Amino acid sequence: MATLKDVARLAGVSASTVSRTLSGNIHVDEQTQQKVWAAIKELKYKPNILAKSLKEGRTNTVALIIPNIRNPIFPAVTRGAEDTARKNGFTLILCNTDEDLSVEKDYIDKLTNRWVDGFIFATARDDSSHIMELKSQGIPVVFMIRSIDNHSDTVTVDNRGGAYKAVDYLISRGCTRIAFINGPLDIDLYRQRLDGYKNALKEHGIPIDDRLIVNDVNDQDNGYHAMLNLLDKGIKMDAVFAASDPKAVNAIKAIKSRGLSVPGDISVIGFDDLDIATIVEPSLTTIAQPAYDIGTTAMDTLIRLIDGHQNAKPIVLDTHLVVRQSVR
Amino acid sequence: MATLKDVARLAGVSASTVSRTLSGNIHVDEQTQQKVWAAIKELKYKPNILAKSLKEGRTNTVALIIPNIRNPIFPAVTRGAEDTARKNGFTLILCNTDEDLSVEKDYIDKLTNRWVDGFIFATARDDSSHIMELKSQGIPVVFMIRSIDNHSDTVTVDNRGGAYKAVDYLISRGCTRIAFINGPLDIDLYRQRLDGYKNALKEHGIPIDDRLIVNDVNDQDNGYHAMLNLLDKGIKMDAVFAASDPKAVNAIKAIKSRGLSVPGDISVIGFDDLDIATIVEPSLTTIAQPAYDIGTTAMDTLIRLIDGHQNAKPIVLDTHLVVRQSVR
């Protein structure tokens, strides 16, 4: 196999010129660069980055495992993760699983074999024991958005506190019959948001009415039919708390389709603060979560783990209320 | 350095059991797997995937270079690319450049040195000679969304035809004073959409009025102030063609902010067919481009290149009109 010295000899330049050309140094003149590249091609020379990785057991590549980049919270999270990876000399492999465990396990197998240095998972569910197995093999793992226990490296937001803020705000605006459109309960963040909803009602002495709570709304329907269903049952309500902005936008659509007005007849509050919150009419009052910062913090944590620091602990980022036009 | 046989010896199992454990085979019982992993950890054994990559000069990893995953066309494009990569045993490295050439060049250097098997670029501009240099080194490169010449592997949509359809439709609805909010002209797709706009007007015998054309609108403003500016100048118009859905949504916002109605006073048509087209009010009539298919087709093309097929030619996907409520 050709070496860097072989390339230098054929190109008629020094070994350090070959190095500098390979590293993209701008101080090598155009003509010299061309000679070097011609020699590299002729000798089929391969720089020894792979060899170095093999020796060090490190590739400076990490994997980000998410449900779906088309779910509108993930572009910002992914940008945060990638920006932090890049600033630290890492590259990011993006994996979408659509919550399909077999896809996720295939990715884990493939990437572990290729010596990805670590993983960030935004896909934890109650049945994610395969991720804990991966951790137990000593591979750096960080959980993001969803957590799995209290002693793993995890970056989430204060879901209980955020949901509490949403319901507390609705109550402060005079709402007392507050519906809750929620996601799947095998994902911990939706259980936490349900807790926050119930806590706020309890503290204000408002009885919890189970007919107003719709759990396990999936990403396909995303709240539209769940909301129609509540309306068509004739259950009295003056507000809806939706566990995500897309669900809130769909709830607004459903309410309007029945000839009711937002916020005149029913107030709506979301959770996320996505771009769509400013596009929908009325613009959406919502609980903002720091999507980009979730990504940067999770990547920072992963890189610290890869570098050998072992301070496993959950990081919980804060949320805040953004008041727009959808609450009376 | 420890070998697979060393691991087998220490774990007290056969070499094939170690292989099967490493490949995630489910037919190795739990207890045996644990013994194997313990031995791997103790010996710091590294499977020879990197060694194999080094020998074959192939990593089954490809890079996707895009401006910004937060630009809402890219999640669907990226999903298409990743799905096709995964189905073919490739993993995808995601790189956001924010159109910053130095970030792009850093990525190219780093990833070429790490022997990424090929690149897809959605970032081509008139000053993208560094990408052509990469190609000239024999590295597989596919252009996507934006093209750079007529003889490279490129996957785009029919931008001229799509823009023509938009303006032709506006004219068929009785519009004759049609403004055009366009992107930067150093990106070829915006030049092509401008051509399509002009062609449609010409064919219908409508004079081109340069005061109605706003080029070089950037992603920050994204059309809002460009539209306000047109309105405040008092230039007569009955329709706006926006070169992207986000620009169309911002144009609608600007028109409404001046007390005018869409489509009553001014019709608006977009280009993309993003989710926001169904969220904005009125819902947006637009030219749909097959974002997901652009990603799958570009990745198919790249994998064929990596496999040694050399039929460099542009692939142009079709667009179609989606009629909603924003045109009279």
Structural domains in chain A, sorted by start: 4-47 (1.10.260.40), 59-156+291-316 (3.40.50.2300), 159-290 (3.40.50.2300)
SS3 B93: strand
* Interface probe, candidates B114, B283, B284, chain A, greatest A C-beta count within 10 A: B114
pLDDT at B18: 78
Beta bridge partners of A321: A287
CA B76, B220, A79, B149: dihedral to nearest 10 degrees?
Answer: 60
A243's tokens: 């566990």
| pLDDT-wise least confident of A20-24, A55-59, B50-54, B262-266 | B50-54
Q: What percentage of chain B reaches a pLDDT higher than 70?
A: 91
Q: What is the DSSP-derived secondary structure letter of residue A206?
A: P
Upper half-sphere CA count for residue A194 (Cβ side, 13 Å):
19
* Interface probe, candidates A20, A40, A43, A54, chain B, greatest B C-beta count within 10 A: A54
Position B23 pLDDT exceeds 60: no
CA pair distance A200, B186, nearest whole angstrom:
54
Residues of A in contact with B138 (CB under 8 A): 41
Over range A55-82, report the average pLDDT. 90
CA pair distance A201, A279, nearest whole angstrom:
30
Is the ipTM value over 0.95, yes or no? Answer: no
pLDDT at A273: 98
In the predicted model, what is the mean pLDDT of chain B?
A: 90
Grade residue B114 by pLDDT with cuts at 50, 70 and 90: low
Grade residue B193 by pLDDT with cuts at 50, 70 and 90: very high
Q: What share of chain A is helix, strand, coil (3-state, %, to 5)?
A: 45, 15, 40
Report the gap between the CA of A75 and the closest CA in chain B (Å): 5
Over range A149-167, report the average pLDDT. 96
Residue of A nearest to B139 (CA): A41
CA pair distance B75, B249, nearest whole angstrom:
19
Position A30 pLDDT exceeds 90: no
Position B214 pLDDT exceeds 70: yes
Beta bridge partners of A242: A181
Q: Is A64 exposed, middle or buried (0-12, 13-18, 19+ CB in 10 A)?
A: buried
Q: Is B218 exposed, middle or buried (0-12, 13-18, 19+ CB in 10 A)?
A: exposed
SS3 A125: coil
Position A56 pLDDT exceeds 70: no
pLDDT at B187: 94
Over range A3-11, report the average pLDDT. 85
B86's tokens: 């995964």
Over range A34-61, report the average pLDDT. 69
Contacts of B15 (CB under 8 A, 6+ apart): B4, B5, B8
Residues of A in contact with B75 (CB under 8 A): 69-70, 72, 74-75
pLDDT at A124: 94
Over range B47-63, report the average pLDDT. 65
Find the DSSP H helices in chain B: 4-11, 15-22, 30-43, 49-56, 74-87, 101-113, 129-136, 159-172, 188-203, 224-232, 245-257, 276-279, 291-306
Q: Which residue has the higher pLDDT, A112 or A109?
A: A109
What is the side-by-side order of every strand in the sheet holding A320-322?
A213-214, A178-181, A239-242, A267-272, A285-288, A320-322
Over range B291-320, report the average pLDDT. 93
Contact A216, A183 (CB under 8 A): yes
Q: Which residue has the higher pLDDT, A96 or B110?
A: A96
pLDDT at B28: 78
In the predicted model, what is the mean pLDDT of chain A?
A: 90
A109's tokens: 């197998």
* Interface probe, candidates B279, B281, B326, chain A, greatest A C-beta count within 10 A: B279
CA pair distance B48, B3, nearest whole angstrom:
9
Residue of A nearest to B284 (CA): A279
pLDDT at A116: 86
Over range B259-268, report the average pLDDT. 98
Contact B285, B320 (CB under 8 A): no
Residue of B nearest to A59 (CA): B114
pLDDT at B287: 98
B311's tokens: 């039929």
Over range A139-145, report the average pLDDT. 94
pLDDT at A72: 94
Contact B74, A72 (CB under 8 A): no
Q: What is the DSSP-derived secondary structure letter of residue B18?
A: H
Grade residue A25 by pLDDT with cuts at 50, 70 and 90: low
CA A128 to chain centre: 17
Contacts of B310 (CB under 8 A, 6+ apart): none
Grade residue A57 by pLDDT with cuts at 50, 70 and 90: low
Grade residue A114 by pLDDT with cuts at 50, 70 and 90: low
Contact B152, B203 (CB under 8 A): no
Grade residue A22 by pLDDT with cuts at 50, 70 and 90: low
Contact B259, B302 (CB under 8 A): no
Q: Which helix (H) or strand (E) holds A18?
A: helix A15-22
Position B236 pLDDT exceeds 70: yes
The number of helix segments (H) and strand segments (E) in chain A equals 13, 12
pLDDT at A49: 52
B295's tokens: 């990603």
Over range B253-270, report the average pLDDT. 98
Report the gap between the CA of A288 and the closest CA in chain B (Å): 17
Over range A142-160, report the average pLDDT. 95
Question: With an 8 Å Cβ cutoff, are B279 and A92 in contact?
Answer: no
Q: What is the DSSP-derived secondary structure letter of residue B299?
A: H
Residues of A in contact with B78 (CB under 8 A): 69, 94
Position B140 pLDDT exceeds 80: yes
pLDDT at A152: 92
pTM for this model (two decimals) = 0.85
Q: What is the DSSP-derived secondary structure letter of residue B211?
A: G
Q: What is the DSSP-derived secondary structure letter of residue A47?
A: -
CA pair distance A150, A148, nearest whole angstrom:
7
pLDDT at B34: 83
Over range A36-57, report the average pLDDT. 65
CA pair distance B146, B155, nearest whole angstrom:
8
The model's pLDDT over A288-309, given as tens digits with 9 standing for 90+, comes to 999 999 999 999 999 999 998 8
CA pair distance B26, B265, nearest whole angstrom:
65
Pairing of strands B285-288, B320-322: antiparallel
Position B49 pLDDT exceeds 60: no
* Interface probe, candidates B54, B105, B222, chain A, greatest A C-beta count within 10 A: B54
Q: Which bin fits B280, alpha (ψ -120 to 50), beta or left (φ > 0)?
A: beta
pLDDT at A123: 95
CA pair distance B17, B106, nearest whole angstrom:
42
* Residue in the block written with tokens 């727009």: A324
pLDDT at A168: 98
Q: Which residue has the higher pLDDT, B271 or B18?
A: B271
DSSP string, A220-253: TTTTHHHHHHHHHTT---SEEEESSHHHHHHHHH
Q: Which helix (H) or strand (E) holds B12?
A: none
Q: Which residue has the higher pLDDT, B47 or A9?
A: A9
Grade residue A52 by pLDDT with cuts at 50, 70 and 90: low
Question: With an 8 Å Cβ cutoff, are B24 and A108 in contact?
Answer: yes
Contact B241, B197 (CB under 8 A): yes
Over range A181-189, report the average pLDDT. 96
| pLDDT-wise least confident of A124-128, A231-235, B108-112, B251-255 | B108-112
Nearest to B70 among A79, A106, A111 (CB): A79
User: Cα–Cα–Cα angle for B155, B160, B166, nearest 5°?
Assistant: 120
pLDDT at B33: 82
Residues of B in contact with A76 (CB under 8 A): 70
Distances in Å between the alpha carbon of A13 and those of A18, A28, A49, A154? 7, 11, 21, 51
pLDDT at A269: 98
Q: Which residues of B233-266 are buried (b: 16+ CB within 10 A; e: fewer)?
A: eeeebbbbbbbbbbbbbbbbbbbeeeeeebbeeb
CA pair distance A257, A231, nearest whole angstrom:
11
pLDDT at B47: 56
CA Rg value for chain A: 26
pLDDT at B46: 61
Position A115 pLDDT exceeds 80: no
Report the gap between the CA of A268 and the closest CA in chain B (Å): 15
CA pair distance B224, B226, nearest whole angstrom:
5
The model's pLDDT over A81-106, given as tens digits with 9 standing for 90+, comes to 999 999 999 999 999 999 898 999 88
CA pair distance A80, B167, nearest whole angstrom:
39
Contact A98, A71 (CB under 8 A): no
The model's pLDDT over B199-209, given as tens digits with 9 standing for 90+, comes to 999 999 999 99
Position B87 pLDDT exceeds 90: yes
Question: With an 8 Å Cβ cutoff, are A105 and B137 in contact?
Answer: no
pLDDT at A1: 58
Dihedral pair phi/psi, residue B283, rounded to 5° = -60, 150
Contact B141, B134 (CB under 8 A): yes
